[in-house]
Amino acid sequence: MNEHQQTPAPTAVPPAPAPSPATEPITVRTGELAGGSGDPRFQVSARSDPRPALLEDGSERPYVTIVLPCYNEGAHVLKEIDRITAAMNSSEFTYELLCIDDASTDDTLQVLEQAARDFANLRIMPFRRNGGSGTARRIGTQQAHGEIVVWTDADMTYENERIPELVRILRDDPSYDQVVGARTTEEGTHKWARVPAKWLIRNIAQWLTKTRIPDLNSGLRAFRREVSLPYLRLLPAGFSCVTTITIAFLSNQHDIKYVETSYAKRAGVSKFHFVNDAYRYILQVLRMVMYFDPLKVLMPPALWLVVIGFVKGVVDMVRHPFYFPASTVLLVVSGIMIGSLALLSDLVVRSRDGV
């Protein structure tokens, strides 16, 4: 036997080829790249719905979710449900009607529970505490199963039979992220005061967003759920939530299409309080633009104060050499302080991650 017999060297095993990476869509923070860029990959990812196609109970996920806040609408909410379901049943879309009872004090919840037995696509979400229409719409959008979310009211004012028309625009034209039913008439309460107030608020919003807005606070609108999710935390609890979602989309370069609609006299008692809600509208417009572009709000008054203070200082110098009244100094200092605050706010906005 050969004492120096050697163990044969192990045969080198070639490394297994690395598995090819699965093709995955490029992830983009929806809402940050509004409307997509020139690369079509971004547009696809912004429009895709990552949720499974089936719900937990095994049923198919609907394409449209209609969020219907209900607060003391028991006398006519059934007529509204019947009108919406008739329009959607005659369309080509799968849908769900999400009725949110906002802690109504009448029989609204009982009417909805009875309607749920008669309408297969109806889903009820009852609140134990009244949270306002903005809270109902925000939670309804978060809990929506559909890719397209529709907001409307249960007071018989909007042309809800035209909801499929709004949805078709979003389905056929991916360049739009929201479609709004722009009212051509005003039939609300306190019409003598609402018309000029809304005109003023709308023009302020148009100047701040540099966009023509035919109807700033229409309650009838359809939008892509995935695009809206980053902005839901900005929604206030009250009526100005529709103003907020409009300004949020426009300020972040999401395209909105306006479709003319009629507006009927509401059924039941209006929950709109002119003084309080008009104040909230104006405050919310300024708040939203401050959130996206604070320089537009703060820098103009800052520059005007500095200019006025400088001109007044020249006049004071001519009239009383080397004497500057406290008012002149206050104007200049106030302008500088507001300008500094504007620059600091803009720095915070630009350093913010996300939308």
User: What homologous superfamily is domain 47-292 in, according to CATH?
Assistant: Spore Coat Polysaccharide Biosynthesis Protein SpsA; Chain A (3.90.550.10)
Instruction: Judge whether residue 98 has pLDDT over 80.
Output: yes
Between 179 and 265, whose confidence is greater? 179
pLDDT at 319 over 80: yes
Cα–Cα distance for residue pair 181/264, rounded to 1 Å:
13
Burial grade of 212 (CB within 10 A; 0-12, 13-18, 19 or more): exposed
Report pLDDT digits (tens) over 3-58. Answer: 444 445 545 545 555 544 444 443 433 444 344 434 433 343 345 567 888 888 77
Q: What confidence tens digit (pLDDT) does each residue in 154-208 have?
A: 988 999 999 999 999 999 999 999 999 998 876 555 566 667 777 877 888 888 7
Residue 309: band (very low, low, confident or very high) from pLDDT cuts 50, 70, 90: very high
Average predicted confidence (pLDDT) for the chain: 83
Mean pLDDT computed over 87-100: 97
Count of positions (residues) in the chain: 355
Banded pLDDT at 289 (limits 50, 70, 90): confident
The pLDDT, as a whole number, for residue 210 is 86
pLDDT score of 14: 52
Q: How far apart are CA 158 and CA 150, in angstroms?
A: 12
pLDDT tens per residue across span 22-36:
444 434 334 443 444
* Confidence band for 321, pLDDT divided at 50, 70 and 90: confident
What is the model's pLDDT at position 178?
97
Is 88's pLDDT higher than 70? Answer: yes
Q: Is the pLDDT of residue 292 over 90?
A: no
Could you state, in order of their start, the residue ranges of all structural domains in the chain?
Answer: 47-292, 294-350
Are the C-beta atoms of 165 and 242 separated by less than 8 Å? no
Give the model's pLDDT for residue 329. 92
Q: At residue 257, what are phi and psi to the nearest 5 degrees?
A: -105, 135
**Helix/strand/coil (H/E/C) assignment for every residue in the chain:** CCCCCCCCCCCCCCCCCCCCCCCCCCCCCCCCCCCCCCCHHHHHHHHCCCCCCECCCCCECCCEEEEEEECCCCCCHHHHHHHHHHHHHCCCCCEEEEEEECCCCCCHHHHHHHHHHHCCCEEEEECCCCCCHHHHHHHHHHCCCCCEEEECCCCCCCCHHHHHHHHHHHHHCCCCCEEEEEECCCCCCCHHHHHHHHHHHHHHHHHHHCCCCCCCCCCCEEEEHHHHHHHHHHCCCCCCHHHHHHHHHHHCCCCEEEEEECCCCCCCCCCCCHHHHHHHHHHHHHHHHHHHCHHHHHHHHHHHHHHHHHHHHHHHHHHCCCCCCHHHHHHHHHHHHHHHHHHHHHHHHHCCCCC
CA atoms within 13 A on the CB side of 149: 25
